[in-house]
Amino acid sequence: MFKTFNHFNYHAICDELAAADADLALIINKYGYPPLWSRPNTFETLVHIILEQQVSLASALSALNKMKEKVQELTPARVLLLTDEEFKACYFSRQKTSYTKYLAEAILSGQINLQKLEQLPDDEIRAKLTSLKGIGNWTTDVYLMFVLQHADVFPIGDLAAVNALKRLKQLPKETTREQVITIAEQWAPYRTVASMLLWHFYLSAPRAGIANKKI
């Protein structure tokens, strides 16, 4: 059964990770515990994560808020009533307009049931979500980590998490994806919480050249 984390066990998991990894302990000692970032399991949240793909958090939130002003409540049915021009006026690119419409149709048709995903293991959720147009592994990782709070996910496609790990461990820039994955495996079964610590380090000790974190 997959492990999850919540407000009751979050700090204890952070402490367990810190006890096994002195670098993670340094983050807590210097910056305190990371926030427990979370999002509700809704269509709006998935649209928000799609908007965050490869853009800044500020521009993604701006587009989301513009859309919410337009439709009031961001639901699949309301979104599908909008024209492409109306999407464009809400700062949605052509691609993200297509992705959002596809997701809305998948939810309305019953192809995807967000509540039922809560009961499934990571690999089944990943298979279902990545079968949808516009949803890849990064989007699925964010969903698993921040929405469902599954405890053992490392977002290898997230530049901020990867670069924060390299900084923390003083690894060379050319460190490979496989090497990063191997290091992260040492934090199992709590790789999500370790990633929260890395993002906390990134946000607390910013340095030019690292991409915006997606939360």
Q: What is the mean pLDDT of residues 177-196?
A: 97
Please state, in angstroms and as integers, the Cα–Cα distance from residue 97 to each residue in 91, 93, 196, following that order.
9, 6, 30
- Note the pTM of the prediction, 2 decimals: 0.91
Q: Which pLDDT belongs to residue 212?
A: 41
Domain spanning 43-147, CATH class:
mainly alpha
Q: Do 10-35+156-204 and 43-147 share a fold? A: no
Please state, in angstroms and as integers, the Cα–Cα distance from residue 123 to each residue in 21, 59, 147, 159, following that order.
27, 31, 16, 22
d(CA 70, CA 78): 10
Q: What is the mean pLDDT of residues 17-24?
A: 97
Phi/psi of residue 14, each to 5°? -55, -45
Please state, in angstroms and as integers, the Cα–Cα distance from residue 8 to each residue in 11, 14, 88, 146, 193, following that order.
8, 12, 42, 16, 13
Q: Is the pLDDT of residue 107 over 80?
A: yes
Q: Which pLDDT belongs to residue 54?
A: 87
140: number of Cβ within 10 Å: 22
Q: Is the pLDDT of residue 215 over 70?
A: no
Phi/psi of residue 20, each to 5°? -95, -15
Element (H, E) at 88: helix 84-89
Spell out the residues 6+ positions from residue 15 whose beta carbon is closer than 8 angstroms to its own.
Answer: 28
| Domains in the chain: boundaries | 10-35+156-204, 43-147
Q: Which pLDDT belongs to residue 2?
A: 72
- Which residues are bridge partners to 29 per DSSP? none
Q: Which pLDDT belongs to residue 210?
A: 38
Q: Is the pLDDT of residue 214 over 80?
A: no
d(CA 204, CA 64): 26
Find out whether the peptide bond into 189 is cis, omega within 30 degrees of 0.
yes
How would you label 58-70 residue by residue, b for 16+ Cβ within 10 Å and e otherwise? eebeebbeebeee
Q: What is the mean pLDDT of residues 86-110?
A: 97
Residue 206's pLDDT band (cuts 50, 70, 90) = low
Cβ-defined contacts of 50-55 (< 8 Å, 24+): 50/96, 50/99, 50/100, 50/103, 50/134, 50/135, 50/139, 51/92, 51/96, 52/142, 52/214, 53/96, 53/134, 53/138, 53/139
Whether domain 10-35+156-204 has CATH 1.10.1670.40: the reply is yes
Query: Average pLDDT of the chain?
Result: 93
Q: Is the pLDDT of residue 67 over 80?
A: yes
pLDDT in tens, 140-152: 999 999 999 999 9
Q: What is the mean pLDDT of residues 61-82?
A: 96
Q: Is the pLDDT of residue 211 over 50?
A: no
Instruction: Please tell me what DSSP assigns to residue 150.
Output: B
Q: What is the mean pLDDT of residues 4-12?
A: 95
Dihedral class, residue 112 (left if φ above 0, else alpha if ψ from -120 to 50, else beta)? beta
pLDDT in tens, 24-43: 999 999 999 999 999 999 99
